[in-house]
Each structure stands twice: as C-alpha cells, then as structure tokens.
Structure 1
Amino acid sequence: MGATAREEPGSGAPSCPQNPQGIFSLPTALASNARSQCCESSGRQGEEGASSSQGEDASQVMQDELLNDKLDKLLPFLLQKYQKKEQVTMEEILRVMDPGYRAYLPLIFRLLCKCMYLTFGIDMREVAAPGHTYELVPILGLTYNGILDNEVQISAKADLLILILSTIIIKGNSLSEGDLRDLLSNRQELGEREYVIEDPWKFITEDLVREGYLVYQQVPNSDPVCYEFLWGPRAHAETTQMKVLTHMFSLDRTDLRSYPHVCKQPPRKKNDKLRARKGKDE
C-alpha cells in the first residue's frame, strides 16, 4: 500500500512519543550521537524502581542488549519502507523483531518511534487504529537514498549528515576542513564506540559529496590553500535550513533566538550554488 507521507512544515513533536531532552545542545552536545541518546533512554526506563542487586543489574544489561539488537533489525527495515513510501503495520514490525518477543513490543515500539525521529527526522503516525497501520512522515525531508543502502551503521551516518548540515548553517553557510576535523574528533570522544563510523572522512568526502548532500571545495582565493564544505544541491532540494535547525534545536528546547545571526541571514541557496560551481571551475 502506498503511503500518504507528506512533508511537514517545521519539525514539530513526534506523535509517538514526546521528544527526549538533552540532544544537540550547542556547542558541546551537538557532537553527541542521537542513536546512543535514544538507546540510553531504555536503560533509564529500566532503572526506575530497580534494585541494586547484582542479579537485577545483570538482568537490566541483558534487556538493554536485547532492545539494541531489535532496534538494529527494525531501523533498516523502516528506513526501506520510508524510502519506498510504503506504510508499515504492527504485524510487520513484530515479524521482523521475532514473534517470540511479543511481550517486549510496547517498549520496543516506543523506542523505535523515538529513534526514527531523533536519528532520521521521520515521524511514525498511526493512520488506521484498528489495523495498527503507520505512515512514515518526513519531518526533515531527507531521503538518505544512496548513503544508507547497505544497512551498515545507518544510524551513525544519518546522525553525522544532520550534524554537518546543521554546523554549516551555524558557521555561516560554510564549514572549514579544520573545523570539521575538530568536530569529528570531539564526536569520537563523546560517542560510544559502536556508534562511531569506521571511516567518517571517507563517508563525508566521498559518499556525501557523490550523492550531492555536500560540496567539498577549495576556498576561493585562499592563500595558503584551504578547503571548505557547503550544502550540496541535493540538500537544498530535499530540505531547508530552517527545518534542519528547528529539528535540531527542538530536541534540546533551545530557542532559535539564541542564534540571531542564523535567524536574520537571508536565504543563500542561489549564492551557495553559484559559489560551489565557481569553486569547481577554478
């Protein structure tokens, strides 16, 4: 069945459940990983009223590992549904995660909604209550086609893309190569090992550039020569700067007015594209 997914103005709050707080607060938490923050919420839920006994601690660790394992299976499945513009049913979700874990379905589904929103900017909305059918609504508008197709580290890669697009805006529509390397270094220090991309520089300079999400070019008239990153034509086509910033700041309840230079700057889509073409011609 084809989905009726539609792009929503702004990010808004996901219909299920409310946004967890403490994500992407600039400048420090901006380097944190949305997936790791999402998965930490499962641990916090299990800590409520928990005993300090070693037996229960071990049980909590096993539950967290189980939840992470099921999320690792479900996120690629839902992303494929989103890219094909298909709806998804609760029955399909249960089949992917294993019917033997039906008792965990309510908890896993809540975490799944959070992770889809935090990591990909996609809202899961119920469209047929009796049949438990959901549409995958693009909040950011990013399709991720071509960069997440192999199902390897898709959460970390999507998170890194949004991080870079956001930082480019904050930095005045361009991000120096040195600043990006510093950002990646801070991200590796803050993130958990399993959520760090094996070769982030290759992913950025090859995959994201090839797919048109980023432009990587020499800074015009720079001496000594230096390089910068800009939004690519595909990023401009799929989303807007305000949508990316609104989504990012809403996760931490940060007021956009805290960054007046971002709010006041005029749209620069055409200027950025001309600048990118000029850099390639030089």
Structure 2
Amino acid sequence: MLQEGLQSESRVWSLLSALIPESQEEEASTSSSFSSTSSSSSPSSASSSSPSSFLSSHFVIPSTIKEVSGAVGTPSLLQGSQRVCSSHIAMAVTPSIKSDQGSSSQDGKGPSTLQSLPVTGSLFKDAIEDKVADLVGFLLLKYHTKELITKVEMLIVIKDYQDHFPVILSQASECLQLVFGIDVKELDPISHSYVLVNTLGLTYNGMLSDDQSVPKTGLLINILSVIFMDGNCSPEQNIWEVLSVMGLCAGRKHFIYGEPRELITKVWVQEGYLEYRQVANSDPARHEFLWGPRAHAETSKMKILELLAKINGTIPNAFPILYEDALRDEEKRSQARVAARASSRVRASGRVRATGRARARVTPNSFCRHK
C-alpha cells in the first residue's frame, strides 16, 4: 500500500504544480494552456515567484481590518500568515528538484532552526523543503484514502533526512492546515500513528469523488476569517479582493477550486456555511456574505481567532476588538447550551410524567372490563 501511494504521488504533484504556473499564465497570456505553461516553467522559477502569485498570503484581510489591527499595536494578520506560508507552501505547491548534496550536520529542532542556517547551508535547507513537499503530497493521498498514517511510513517518504523528521513534519503540517484546511493529529504517541482531520471542526471539504480533487476547506476558512474580521458581514467586493490576491477570479475556472463564484455563492451557501444576501435598498444591487448556520454550528469565532493568533505567533487577546467579539460569541454559545440542557430536562420530565399517568390508567379492573 505504501509503495502504491509513493508511485501515485506524482499525480498529486502534477495537480498541485499547476497552481503557480496558472497564475503566471493568467498574468502573461490567456491563450496558452496550463500544461504547456507548467512544462515551460522551471521548478525554481515557479517556486521563487509563488509567494507573490498564488500562495503569498492566506487569511488575506481587507484594508479596514489591517488598520484596526495596526491601530492597537498588533502584528498584521497578513504578515503573520506570510511569515508561515511563504517558503514552505511554495515548495508544497511547486516542489523543485534540487541536489541533496551539501547537507549540514545541524539537527533541526523546528522551523526557526532552518531559518537560522548560514548561507553555506542553503542546499541543506532546499533539501529539507523538498522533503516537506514530498510529505505534503503523501499526506494528501492518505487524506483521500482516509487511512491512518504511521511515523514509519513518513520516514520512508523523507528517506535520507529522517533525523530531521520533527522539522519536516511540523512544516508539512503547517502547509496542510493553511492551504488545504487539514490538521495532522497524533492518535497514539506509543505507536506513532496519525490521522488527518478538517481544521476547526468543519465537516465539509468540498472534494469530488474522483482522486484528482483536493480539499477546499482552507479556502472556506479563509473566507470565514475575512467575514469575522470584517465585522461579521463582509461586502462581496471585499471577498473578491481577497480571492483575487490568491489568483481566484469570478467566471474563471481555477485548477483546484473550479469556478469560485459557483463555489462560494452556491455550493457553500447550499451547504449552509455561507449566507449570501442582497444589501437592503441597494441600487444597483450589491451583495454581502455572512456565516451560515452550519459554520456557526461547527466552528466559532474564537477558534478562528486562535488560528489567526497561532499564525502570528501570539495569543488571541493580542487583537482586542476581535477578541471581545469572540468572547461575546462564546458567552452566547454557553447560554444557548444551558438553555438547551434545561429544555431537554423539561422534555424528559414531561415524558416521565406522561408514562406514569399512562401506567396508572392501566389497572387490573380495566383488564377485567375489557374481558
């Protein structure tokens, strides 16, 4: 099974590698095909340009929200996501073929270890990033097949860099979470088995039944985050500004997400994750996005804020305005849970009383009368 997964890994990479070339192609010319652009672009050039083309920023935010975060002296959410994503995710999308020579003897303890490598260790850093890309591809295959993952399998994937497994797994996990909305969870620390779950508890990943689609949860989380940071009601224009930075345009089919307007105004609306409504009394008609009931049921503002804080290497209350909103939301949720439990107890008590009355009516004399 593992060998089959490794052999089919190239299919996943052929899918992912089209992300960056597609964005480059749209900027240069719309006449050439995705495949020809992919074949003509060198891996290194695609990798170097990717931070500014498709995946330079996840959790992109409207300018008004950036001003709010800047006004309270907090780091920009956009800058935080760029710091995490720019190098690792570029490699995950366009894995380049680099030499494994020039390995350093330093032991990686985390992402910061690789960041601090001297210039002479750049080849080693490139090799580590290659292994991060390999591991991301392998884990996506496992997500498709819904199989548990073992540390042994992942060590086979990264081959000669097994001593740096903690670093590679950490960076691959960040890529999966920020791009695809997938969390890597360790099930058993003894057997070192892992499972892949959707980030923030969301249950719909937008994948098709075929083996060429990838999870779209990361994009959904991005949009939910923008709505939250935009005062819980985001003008459609703001959403498209965010998506345009990510290379997504209305009416233009994207290699990964398909036609984005269909996805965000119909699919996710029908699934209950988004509410898409016309602004009252707007002429010409304007629309806005809100969280849908399923988004409120499966995740929360606090979970979104915790993720954003994690990206920035800080804590949720570092963003006071968002934090206060999230706290109010948590209080409402708590009150709703208390009310639901009280209602459940009342219904249960009513059923007990009704059962008792029914039994009281069933007496020996009543049996005799029926006879």
**TM-score bracket, shorter-length normalisation:** 0.5 to 0.7
**Could you tell which deviates more after superposition, 32-41 or 216-225?**
32-41
Identity %: 31
Q: Distance in 2 between matches of 1:180 and 1:76?
A: 30
Q: Which residue among 320, 327, 331 is the counterpart of 1:257?
A: 320
* Separation of aligned partners in 2, 1:232 and 1:115: 26
Paired position in structure 1 for 2:140? 75
User: Matches of 2:219 and 2:285 in 1, distance apart?
Assistant: 26
Task: Please say if residues 144 and 211 of structure 2, whose CA atoms lie closer than 8 Å, have aligned partners that are also in contact.
Answer: no
Task: Give the C-alpha shift of residue 153 in structure 1.
Answer: 7.4
Q: Specify the structure having the higher radius of gyration (Cα).
A: 2
Shift of 1:213: 1.8
- 1:90 and 2:158 correspond: no
1:8 maps to none
- For the pair 1:50 / 2:118, whether they are aligned, the reply is yes
d(CA) in 1 for partners of 2:167, 2:293: 39
Alignment of 1:160 with 2:225, yes or no, is no
Q: CA deviation at 1:204?
A: 2.3
Aligned residue identity for 1:49: L
Q: Could you tell me how far apart the structure 2 residues matched to 1:43 and 1:241 are?
A: 28
Alignment CA distance shift 1:43-1:50 (3 Å): farther
TM score, norm. by length of structure 1: 0.62
1:149, 1:115 → 2: CA distance? 23
Paired residue for 2:175? 115
Ranges in structure 1 where 5+ consecutive residues have no aligned partner: 1-21, 269-282
Greater alpha carbon shift after TM alignment, 112-121 vs 40-49: 40-49
Q: In 1, are the aligned partners of 2:114 and 2:125 still within 8 Å (CA)?
A: yes
The one-letter code of the counterpart of 1:88 is I
Unpaired runs of 5+ residues, structure 2, are 1-56, 67-75, 92-109, 249-253, 334-371
User: Is the partner of 1:140 in helix, strand or coil?
Assistant: helix
User: SS where residue 205 of structure 1 aligns?
Assistant: helix
User: Over residues 97-142 of structure 1, what are the superposed CA-to-partner deviations in whole Å (9 max), with x where a residue is unaligned?
Assistant: 376775664443232333345453635235241x212355666111
Check 1:61–1:198 CA distance in 2 against 1; reply closer, same or farther (3 A cut): farther
Kept after mapping to 1: 8 A contact 2:128/2:168: no
Q: Which amino acid aligns with 1:91?
A: V
- Deviation (angstroms), 1:200: 3.6
Cα distance in structure 2, aligned partners of 1:43 and 1:198: 33
The aligned runs of 1:213-252 (5 Å cut-off) are: 213-252=273-312
C-alpha distance in 2 between matches for 1:62 and 1:250 = 26
* d(CA) in 1 for partners of 2:77, 2:184: 23
| Two-structure CA RMSD over aligned residues (Å) | 4.2
Show CA shifts across 1:20-72 (max 9, x none): xx9858635448566546447998644533344xxx64564454234313312
Instruction: Mark the CA change 1:146 to 1:139 in structure 2 (over 3 Å): closer, same or farther.
Output: closer
Which deviations, in whole Å up to 9, do the C-alpha atoms of 1:66-98 show, x marking residues without a partner? Answer: 4313312313424753xxxx6432234446x37
Relative contact order higher in (CA < 8 Å, ≥ 6 apart): 1
2:323 and 2:304 map into 1 onto residues whose CA distance is 16
- 1:166/1:92 CA distance change after superposition, 3 Å: same
Q: Are residues 44 and 198 of structure 1, via their aligned partners in 2, closer, same or farther at CA, if it must alter by over 3 Å?
A: farther
- Name which of 34, 40, 64 aligns with 2:129: 64
C-alpha distance in structure 1 between counterparts of 2:163 and 2:117, whole Å: 20
Offset of 1:226 from its aligned partner? 0.8
Q: What is the rounded CA distance, in whole Å, between the counterparts of 1:197 and 1:45 in structure 2?
A: 34
**1:198 Cα deviation from its structure 2 partner:** 6.7
* 2:242 paired residue number: 183
**How many pairs are equivalent?**
233
| Residue of structure 2 in register with 1:172 after alignment | 231
Q: Which amino acid aligns with 2:217?
A: A
Q: What is the rounded CA distance, in whole Å, between the counterparts of 1:210 and 1:240 in structure 2?
A: 20
SS state at 1:222 partner: coil
